[in-house]
Structure 1
Amino acid sequence: MSGSGKRGAPLVADRRYPSSGGGSGRGGPPKKPEPPKKPASPRKPASRKPARKHGLIVGLILGLLGLIWRVIWGVGWRLGVVSALVLFGVVFYFHQQLPSVTDLVDARARGSVTMLDRDGQVFAWRGETFGGMITSDHVSDHLRNAVVATEDKRFYGHFGVSPRGIASAIRINLSEGRGPLEGNGGSTITQQVAKLLCLGVQYDATKWKTEAEYEEDCRSGGIWRKVKEIPFAMAMEWKYSKADILTIYFNRAYLGAGARGFEAAAQRYFGKSAANVTAAEAAMLAGLLKAPSRYAPTANLKRAQDRANVIIGLMEEQGYLDKATADEARANPAQLSEAAARNAGGFFADWVMESGPAFLTKDTTEDVIIRTTLDQTIQRQAEAALEDVFATKVSKGSKAQAAIVVMSADGAVRAMVGGRKIEAAGSFNRATQALRQTGSVFKPFVYAAALDLGYSPSDYVEDTPLTINIKGSGPWTPANYDKEFKGMITLTQALAESRNIPAVRVSEAVGRDAVRQVAEQFGVKSDLAAGPALALGASESTLLEMTGAYAGILNGGSSVQPYGLIELKLQGEEGELIGQTGGIGERVIRQEAAQELIYMMSQVIERGTGKRARLGDHPVAGKTGTTSAARDAWFIGFSAHYVSGVWMGYDDNTPLKEVTGGGLPAQIWQEVMARVHKGIPVTPLPMVVPAPRQPPASGVSASSLEVPGVPAAEQPASPGATPAQPQPSTGDPIQDALRDALGVSSGLY
C-alpha cells in the first residue's frame, strides 16, 4: 500500500555478517568493502621480564635442587604429621596416668617431727614439715603474683612450654660459655611441677637410698629428660587448670630449713599462714625457689632480704605492685618470727630425736608432734652466758669447746648447749656424745658411799703420802693437785679442797665395788675403772650423765633418768603414743646421807675450789673437776631449783692452758645460773649440817693401805710415813676395820 500506487523495493535489514558465498545479498546491490583496519600493536606485560635461558650446567643444578626440595618437602610434612601424632599419643598417655590434684600435693615418703617446748610453743622441726594442703586460690594474692612474676611471667598464656623462654635460656647459656641445656633451662612453672612429680616416676626405696637422692635424680637435666618433660607438661595443662598446677607447685616446692610447701615455709619463717603473708614476706618466699638452702632466712637473713628486693622489683615491673606498695615493701623487709629467729635448742632437739624410737622420730612416715621439757628462756640464757665468757675471758681465736646442761631435780632437761658455734664445729653434741674423763667431779660418789654406810662429814681422814701395791701393775702413789699434805682433815675439808689421797683412802675403805655401785645407780653408765684410780675420776662419762647423777643427790638420794620427751602424738590426733621417758627412779642412798653430802658440796663453793661459782644470796653446792694434763675441766652443781653442768676442753684432747674446773667452767656455771635465777626467790638447800667432832690425837696416822689379796710383806710403805700405831677398839668390829682402813682415830663413827 502506497500513496502513489507504485510498488517499491522491500525493506530489508542490513546483514551484520557477510555472506559465506561472497556475492551480494538478495534484495540489493553489493556492499562496498570497508578499508582494512590498522592492526593494534602488541602490549608488553608490565612486570614480566623476558625469560632467561640458562646454560646446561646451571639448569641441571637448578633441577637437582628442585628435586631435593620436593623430596624434603614431601618427607618433611609426612614426618611432621607422624611426629604430631606421636606427640599427641604421648601427651594422651601421660594425661591418662595423671591422678587428681589432691593425690599430688604431699608425696613425702617420710613424715616430719615438730617439737614444742614446756609451754607448748614450737621451737624446732626435724624432717620435712608439711603445713597441710593449700590451694592457689586461698594463698595471699601477693604470694601468687610473686611466684608467677619470678618463675614464669607468661604462665597464664602458654600451653605448658614456652618456646620463647627456651630460646632465651639457650641464648643465655651459650653467651656464658655453657652448653645450650646447661644452667638456665627456661622452664615454665608447669615444667617445674613436672620435675617435682619426677615425670610420673614414683619413689622406689630399692633404687634410691633416700628421698634426697630421688629428687636429685628427678631434677637432673639432659636432652632426653627435657624431651620427655615437654609432653608431660602439655598433659598437665590438658588435665589440670592453671590454678590446679599452681596448687601442686605451692604444696610440693621445697623452700629450705626442712619446709615443704609454702604453708610450711610461711609457718616456719614468719609464724603465719601463707594466706596472710605481706608483699615483702611473699617476695622472700618466692625468692627461695631459686636456691632454698642459700636464700633461707634462717641461714642468712640479709641475703634473703636482698633476694626479696629483686622479686619486688619484678612484681612492680610486671604491674603486680604499684610504686607505693613496692617502696613500702623495700623499706620494711620481711623479718623472721621470734621462734625462727631464736633457732634455739638445736642440740636438745637432736638429743630428743636420738633418744626416741626411730620409727617415730628419724624414720617416721607420719607427721609427729613432740612436747618436750625445754625452757627456751633458760636455753637462751645458757647460750648467752657461754658466749659472754668466751668473749671476755678466753683468748681470741681459741678453738676450745664447751658444753652445758641445765635440768630440774627430777631429770627434766631445760637447756642444752652441745658446743660453741665455731668454724668446723659440726653437729657433734659434746653434752651427750663426748665421753671424757670425769676427774674430781666423780668424788661425791665416793663420799656418798661412805655416808650411806654411816660416816659423817665431820669424820677425819689422813692426807699423808700413800702408796698402793696393785697386783700385776706394781706400786701406785697418788698425789694431791698442790703436791702438799694436810695430815688429819675432815671428810668435808677433803672434798671441799678436792684432795686426792683422802678420796682414795675413803674409796678403798668402803670398797671400790660399793663406790662403783653407787655411781652406776645414780646414772653413770659408762665403763668404770677397776683400780684405785676409780676414786679420782679415771673413768669416762658424758656431761648429761654426770649432771643427771648430781640431780639424784639434790632430790634426796634417788636415781634420775634425764629426759626431754614429755609426750609424743601424731599430728591431728589427741591420744599420745609415748609418754614421759625419764624421771626419778629408785633410791640409791639414804636421804640423810644425801643431805649430808649436799652440805659437803656446799663447802666446795663456800671455802673450797669452787669459790668462783658463788651465786650471791642463793645457796648452791657443787664440785670442780680437772683431769690429768688438764685435758678436761668440769664444774657441776645445783641450787634448790636447778642442776647445771659445764664441761670444757678440746675435741682432740689438747691440754687446756691454765684452766681448771674451778676457773672458767665455774665462771660459766655462775653466769648461767645467775641469769636463770633472776626473779627466783632465795631457797635453802635441802642439807643437814653435821655436828663438829674433835680431831684425832696428833701423830696418829697410817703408813699404807692394804690391798685385798696381797700379802702384808708385799705392801710397800709410803715414803716418809710414820708407822701406824695400834688404836683402841670401839667395841664395833666393823667400825674398827673401817677406822683402821681410813687411818683415822677412834673418833671416827
Structure 2
Amino acid sequence: MLRTRYDERDSWGGRDDDQDDYREPSGTPLWRKILIGMAIAAGVGFLAVAGFLIAALQGLPSLSELQNYEPPVTSRVHAGDGALVAEFATEQRVFVPIEQMPDHVKNAFVAAEDARFFEHSGIDYAGLARAMVVNVANVVRGRRLQGASTITQQVAGNMLTGRAAECSGGLGGFFCAIWTKLREGLVAQRIERAFAAEGADGKQRILELYLNEIYLGNRAYGVAAAALNYFDKPLEELTIGEAAYLAVLPKGPNNYHPVRQRERAMGRRNYVIDRMLERGYISEAQATEARTEELVAHDRLSGDQFIAASHFVEEIRRQVQAEYGENALNEGGLSIRSTINTRLQLAAAQSLRRGLEEYDRRHAWRGPIARGDAAGDAQAQLAAAERPPQLSGWVRAMVTAQRGATVTLTDEQGRTGRLNGDDVTWATTRGERGLTAGAIVYAERGSSGGFRLKQVPRIQGALVAMDPHTGRVLAMVGGYNFNEATGLNRATQAMRQPGSSFKPIAYAAALEYGLTPSTLIDDGPLAIEAGDGTNWSPENYSREFYGPTTLRRGLELSRNAMTARIAYEMGPERMLEMGQRLGVYGERTPAVFSLALGAGETSLLRMTTAYGMFVNGGRRISPIIIDRIQDRTGRAVFRRDQRNCPECSAEWRGQSAPTLPDDRQQVLDPVIAYQIVSMSEGVVLRGTATSINALGFPLGGKTGTTNDYKDAWFIGFSPDLVVGVWAGFDTPVDMGEGETGGRIAAPIFRDFMRDALRETQPAPFRIPAGVRLVRVDYMTGQLPAADATQTILEAFKPDTEPTRDVGSSPFVFGGTAPIDPRVLSGITGVVTSEQQGAPRRPEDEEEDELGGLY
C-alpha cells in the first residue's frame, strides 16, 4: 500500500500542529550589507589609489638626481675679439646663478606666477582647489583647462614630467591633467625636501632652476636667453618694464608677442607691474615709470656680421660635433672661442659676392624669377615670390609697365621707379626671359629712386683669409649664398685643380734643387712621354716660345713650357714631395709631370695654408678655426696653443710680455721661402696681377687658371695676411673666353685687401738672415751691363749670386750647352726704363695670365 509524505511524517510521531507555524530565518539586514559594500569599495579604492600612486611614482627622479640636476645649456661661439657670432642649442639657454640675477627680475616672476612661493611647501592647496572647481566648468564648456601650479610644480613639470597644459580638453584631458598634476605634486614635494636642508637658500635654488628652465618663446629657455633674444641685453640691464614683460610669457609666449600681440602684451605687462607694486617689490614711482616704457624688441643674431659668418660657423659646428658629439655641442653649454675676425669676415663676404656678380653681369640675363599679373595686387604677389639672398640688400620687384626701352618697376614696399637703361639693354630678350609686364625680378634701389636689375649668379666661389704666422683663419666664405651655408663649403670641401697658382710651389722645389731666381730656363718646345703611349707637350697661351727666361720672369708671366721643362729635368717626384710637404697634396696623389702646372686636385684652404708658409719663413702651420673650448663650468677642455708659459699668468707689474718658444717645424729653407715671396711680389709689380698694385701696399701672389677656363684662382699675401680666392662652377664647365684668375679672382682679392689693410701702414716683407740681395739685369739675371735698361734687387742664397767671373757664360737650365752671352741681347720682351712705370693694358694682362693654362 502506498503511503503519502504526510503519513510518513505522522508515523514518526513527535510533531504537533504548532510545528506548522515554523519559518526559515530571515536574510542579512540591509544596514549590514551597506557596511560590507562600503568596506569592499574602500578596499578597492585604497588598492586603486595605491596602484595609481605606485604608477605615478614610477620613473620619478631621486633626491640626489634633483640636487644634481643640470639643464641643457646653449653653446656659444665668440669671435677672436669677443663678439658673439653664433649659438648651438636644442633649447637656447644661458644658465645664470641666482646670485647674479637682479632682484626686480626675480620679483617679477614671483609676483606673476606664485605670490606665495616663499610660504608654501611646494603645493598651493587653496589655489589647486580653486582650479579644480573651475576646470569642472571648463570640461563642460570644452575650454582649455586652468592650472594652479606653483613655481616648484612648474620646475617639476618643465624638467621632468611634462606639463598639464599639454593635455587636451574634454573628459580625457581632465583625467590627463589630474595624472600630470599628481606627478608634478609628487616631484614638487621631493624638490622641496631635497633643498629643505638649505633653508631659505633652498627656495632660492628652486627659483634658480625655474628661471633658468622656463620656456619663454622666441627660441629662449630661461630668463637670460629671453633677455638676449627679446631685448639683446644681459639680465642686469633689463628695466622693470622689460622684466615684467618676460614674467608674462610663461602663460603663453605666442599670446603676448611683442609685435603681433602688442596691445595685449602691454596690458598683461602692466598687470604684472601692478602685482609687483602690491607685493611691495617696487615703489609707486617705479611702477609709473615702468608702465610708460615702450615695448621694443630686437631680432638678435640677424645682422650682417652674423649672416656673413654662416660658412665659418658651420665649419666650427662640424669640427666640434665630430670631436665631442652632438649632445655636448647642443646641450653642453660650451664656450667656443673661434679665430674669426668679424670685420674681415664681412669684408670677405661682400668682396666675394661683388666679384661673382660682376662675372655674372658679363654674361647672359637668364630671365625673371617668376611671373605675375601686373594688373593685380603687385605687393601680395611679390610677397609670395622667393626671397632675395641674405646680405644682398635687394628687393623683389614687378614690371608694371613696359614701353620700348622704358621699364617701370614696383617693389614689395610699393615704391615705383624706372629700370636703369644699361640693365634694359642687358636683359633685352624675347619670350619668357623678357622684361614684359608681370615679370618678377630682383632689383636694387638707387639713391635717385631708380632700380638696378640683379640676378643670383650660378657661378660659385670661396675666400679664405689667414694669419700666415699662426694658421689662424680670420675669415672664410664657402659660397655665394648664405642661405645654403649648411651645404658645401667650397673653401674646405671642394677639390679642384689649382692651375698656375701651384707654380710657386713648383719653383720652390726648383730652388731647393739648386736653381736661383736668375737661372735661365729654356722656354722652348718640349714633348714628354706621358706613360700611356701619348706625349705631353705643354705650350704657352700665345702658342709662342720665348727662349732663355729667368726663373723669376717665368713665374711672373706664368710661362708653361719652361715650368714643364723644370719638372722634366728634376722629375715629378720632387714636385709632389714639395706639394705634400706644404700640405697641398695627400699621399694618394700620383707623381706626374703635369703637377708642375697644377693638375692635382686640392682645396682652397690647403693652397692658402701653403702660401702662408712662404710668408712666415718656411715654418709649418695648420689651419686653425678654434682657439679654445670651455665647458659650462669654465674649465678648459681644449686649448690650441699648448706651449708652456708659466709667466703668462703672473701679475703684471710693468714687466715686458713673456717670450714664447717658437715650436713650429721648419719645412722650407727661410731663404727659399723669401725668394718665392720676392718672386711672387714681382707677379703684382710686373706680371699677371698688376691691377692689385694700385693698393699701394707690398703684396705678392699668383694667379691660376685651369684648362678651358674651368677654375680661376688667386692666392696672395701681405707680410701678415694671406688670402686665397677661387671661383668656378660646382660642376666644372667653361666659364667663358678670357675668364681667368686675373680677371675674376684677383679683383676679389684686391677688394678684400683694400678693406683688410685700411687701418694699417705699408710694411715691407721680412728678409731672413742669410739672404744676399744683388742687383741684376731683370731680363738676363746677370750682373747689369752698362746699357742695362731694367734692373732689380734679386735674392740669393750665399754663394749662388752671379759674379763677374761667371757672368760671361750663363748656363741655360734645360739646354744642351752654354750659350754665348750675346744671345741674351736678342731675348724678347725687354722693358725699358721709360716703359717700366707705364700701366699695363688689360689685354696684356689677359694674354699673360692665359699663359698659366696647361
TM-score range relative to shorter protein: 0.5 to 0.7
Secondary structure (helix, strand or coil) at the match of 1:404 reads strand
Q: Which residue number corresponds to residue 749 of structure 2?
A: 669
In the alignment, is the contact (CA less than 8 A) between 1:262 and 1:274 conserved in 2? yes
Aligned: 1:604 with 2:683: yes
One-letter amino acid matched to 1:132:
F
Secondary structure (helix, strand or coil) at the match of 2:128 reads coil
Please tell me the root mean square deviation across aligned C-alpha atoms, in Å: 5.1
Taking the aligned partners of 2:177 and 2:730, their CA distance within structure 1 comes to 49
Q: Which residue number corresponds to residue 614 of structure 2?
A: 553
Aligned: 1:458 with 2:427: no
In the alignment, is the contact (CA less than 8 A) between 1:287 and 1:308 conserved in 2? no
Q: Which residue number corresponds to residue 801 of structure 2?
A: none
Aligned: 1:739 with 2:814: yes
In the alignment, is the contact (CA less than 8 A) between 2:314 and 2:486 conserved in 1? no
Q: Aligned to 2:490, which of 401, 419, 430?
A: 430
Cα 1:357–1:318 shift into 2, 3 Å: closer
Q: CA offsets per residue over residues 197-248 of structure 1, 9 Å max, x none? A: 3428xxxxxxxxxxxxxx9xx9898968656323213435555679877654
One-letter amino acid matched to 1:400:
I
1:171 Cα deviation after fit: 6.5
Taking the aligned partners of 2:244 and 2:682, their CA distance within structure 1 comes to 60
Cα 1:581–1:255 shift into 2, 3 Å: farther
Aligned: 1:315 with 2:269: yes
Aligned: 1:470 with 2:545: no
Q: Give the stretch that moved more between structures: 561-570 or 409-418.
A: 561-570
In the alignment, is the contact (CA less than 8 A) between 1:620 and 1:638 conserved in 2? yes
Q: Aligned to 2:776, which of 649, 672, 691?
A: 691
Secondary structure (helix, strand or coil) at the match of 1:586 reads coil
In the alignment, is the contact (CA less than 8 A) between 2:524 and 2:561 conserved in 1? yes
Aligned: 1:578 with 2:532: no
Provide the TM-score with structure 2 as the length reference.
0.59
Q: Which residue number corresponds to residue 432 of structure 2?
A: none
1:329 Cα deviation after fit: 2.3
Q: Which residue number corresponds to residue 464 of structure 2?
A: 405
1:672 Cα deviation after fit: 1.4
Taking the aligned partners of 1:423 and 1:185, their CA distance within structure 2 comes to 41
Taking the aligned partners of 1:499 and 1:284, their CA distance within structure 2 comes to 69
Taking the aligned partners of 2:179 and 2:566, their CA distance within structure 1 comes to 79
Aligned: 1:229 with 2:180: yes
Taking the aligned partners of 1:162 and 1:628, their CA distance within structure 2 comes to 79
In the alignment, is the contact (CA less than 8 A) between 1:166 and 1:186 conserved in 2? no
In the alignment, is the contact (CA less than 8 A) between 1:625 and 1:661 conserved in 2? yes
Secondary structure (helix, strand or coil) at the match of 2:294 reads helix
One-letter amino acid matched to 2:179:
K
Cα 1:352–1:244 shift into 2, 3 Å: closer
Taking the aligned partners of 2:211 and 2:249, their CA distance within structure 1 comes to 12
Cα 1:617–1:261 shift into 2, 3 Å: same
In the alignment, is the contact (CA less than 8 A) between 2:609 and 2:623 conserved in 1? yes
Cα 1:233–1:393 shift into 2, 3 Å: same
Taking the aligned partners of 1:76 and 1:653, their CA distance within structure 2 comes to 86
In the alignment, is the contact (CA less than 8 A) between 2:501 and 2:713 conserved in 1? yes
Q: Which residue number corresponds to residue 159 of structure 2?
A: 197
Taking the aligned partners of 1:189 and 1:446, their CA distance within structure 2 comes to 74
Q: Which residue number corresponds to residue 528 of structure 1?
A: 589
1:335 Cα deviation after fit: 6.2
Taking the aligned partners of 2:460 and 2:56, their CA distance within structure 1 comes to 56
Secondary structure (helix, strand or coil) at the match of 2:749 reads helix
Q: Percent identity at matched positions?
A: 27
Secondary structure (helix, strand or coil) at the match of 1:648 reads strand
Cα 1:79–1:240 shift into 2, 3 Å: farther
One-letter amino acid matched to 1:580:
D
Cα 1:669–1:101 shift into 2, 3 Å: farther
In the alignment, is the contact (CA less than 8 A) between 1:283 and 1:309 conserved in 2? no
Cα 1:663–1:736 shift into 2, 3 Å: closer
Q: Aligned to 1:132, which of 95, 101, 121?
A: 95
Taking the aligned partners of 2:258 and 2:691, their CA distance within structure 1 comes to 44
1:408 Cα deviation after fit: 1.4
Q: How do residues 218-617 of structure 1 correspond to structure 2 at under 5 angstroms?
A: 228-236=179-187, 247-253=208-214, 260-266=221-227, 272-274=233-235, 276-278=237-239, 281-282=242-243, 305-306=259-260, 311-316=265-270, 320=274, 325-326=290-291, 328-330=293-295, 332-334=296-298, 336=300, 342=306, 345-352=309-316, 354-355=318-319, 358=322, 360=324, 362=326, 364=328, 367-390=333-356, 394-395=360-361, 396-410=455-469, 411-526=471-586, 527-573=588-634, 578-580=639-641, 585-614=664-693, 616-617=695-696
Q: CA offsets per residue over residues 68-126 of structure 1, 9 Å max, x none? A: xxx9xx99999899769855874688579555699378545x77644443344544444
1:432 Cα deviation after fit: 1.8
Q: Which residue number corresponds to residue 833 of structure 2?
A: none
Q: CA offsets per residue over residues 581-628 of structure 1, 9 Å max, x none? A: 799733333222222211221122223222333352201001112223
1:149 Cα deviation after fit: 6.6
Taking the aligned partners of 1:185 and 1:403, their CA distance within structure 2 comes to 55
Taking the aligned partners of 1:279 and 1:101, their CA distance within structure 2 comes to 36
1:168 Cα deviation after fit: 5.7
Secondary structure (helix, strand or coil) at the match of 1:416 reads strand
Q: CA offsets per residue over residues 525-577 of structure 1, 9 Å max, x none? A: 43434322211212121211111100001112233222233344445456675
Q: CA offsets per residue over residues 178-208 of structure 1, 9 Å max, x none? A: xxxxxx77667667655533428xxxxxxxx
Cα 1:448–1:236 shift into 2, 3 Å: same
In the alignment, is the contact (CA less than 8 A) between 1:255 and 1:262 conserved in 2? yes
1:662 Cα deviation after fit: 1.2
Question: Highest CA radius of gyration, 1 or 2?
Answer: 1
1:512 Cα deviation after fit: 1.1
Cα 1:739–1:482 shift into 2, 3 Å: closer
Taking the aligned partners of 1:637 and 1:273, their CA distance within structure 2 comes to 41
Provide the TM-score with structure 1 as the length reference.
0.66
Q: Which residue number corresponds to residue 36 of structure 1?
A: none
1:313 Cα deviation after fit: 3.8
Taking the aligned partners of 1:288 and 1:343, their CA distance within structure 2 comes to 28
Q: Which runs of 5+ in 1 are unaligned?
A: 1-70, 174-183, 201-214, 296-302, 698-729
Cα 1:562–1:677 shift into 2, 3 Å: same
One-letter amino acid matched to 2:708:
A
Q: Which residue number corresponds to residue 427 of structure 2?
A: none
Q: How do residues 587-666 of structure 1 correspond to structure 2 at under 5 angstroms?
A: 587-614=666-693, 616-657=695-736, 659-666=739-746
Taking the aligned partners of 2:731 and 2:358, their CA distance within structure 1 comes to 24
Taking the aligned partners of 2:180 and 2:533, their CA distance within structure 1 comes to 74
In the alignment, is the contact (CA less than 8 A) between 2:336 and 2:630 conserved in 1? yes
One-letter amino acid matched to 2:605:
L
In the alignment, is the contact (CA less than 8 A) between 2:305 and 2:345 conserved in 1? no
One-letter amino acid matched to 1:516:
L
- For these two proteins, the number of residue pairs brought into alignment is 607
One-letter amino acid matched to 2:66:
D
In the alignment, is the contact (CA less than 8 A) between 2:465 and 2:724 conserved in 1? yes
Q: Aligned to 1:118, which of 80, 86, 110?
A: 80
Q: Which runs of 5+ in 2 are unaligned?
A: 1-32, 118-122, 193-202, 276-286, 362-454, 644-661, 768-772, 783-804, 825-854
Q: CA offsets per residue over residues 641-686 of structure 1, 9 Å max, x none? A: 2111112233344543563211232122112111111121110124
Taking the aligned partners of 1:736 and 1:369, their CA distance within structure 2 comes to 60
Taking the aligned partners of 1:283 and 1:83, their CA distance within structure 2 comes to 46
Secondary structure (helix, strand or coil) at the match of 1:528 reads coil
In the alignment, is the contact (CA less than 8 A) between 2:459 and 2:729 conserved in 1? yes
Cα 1:387–1:220 shift into 2, 3 Å: farther
Cα 1:279–1:398 shift into 2, 3 Å: farther
Cα 1:447–1:98 shift into 2, 3 Å: closer
Cα 1:318–1:256 shift into 2, 3 Å: closer
One-letter amino acid matched to 1:435:
M
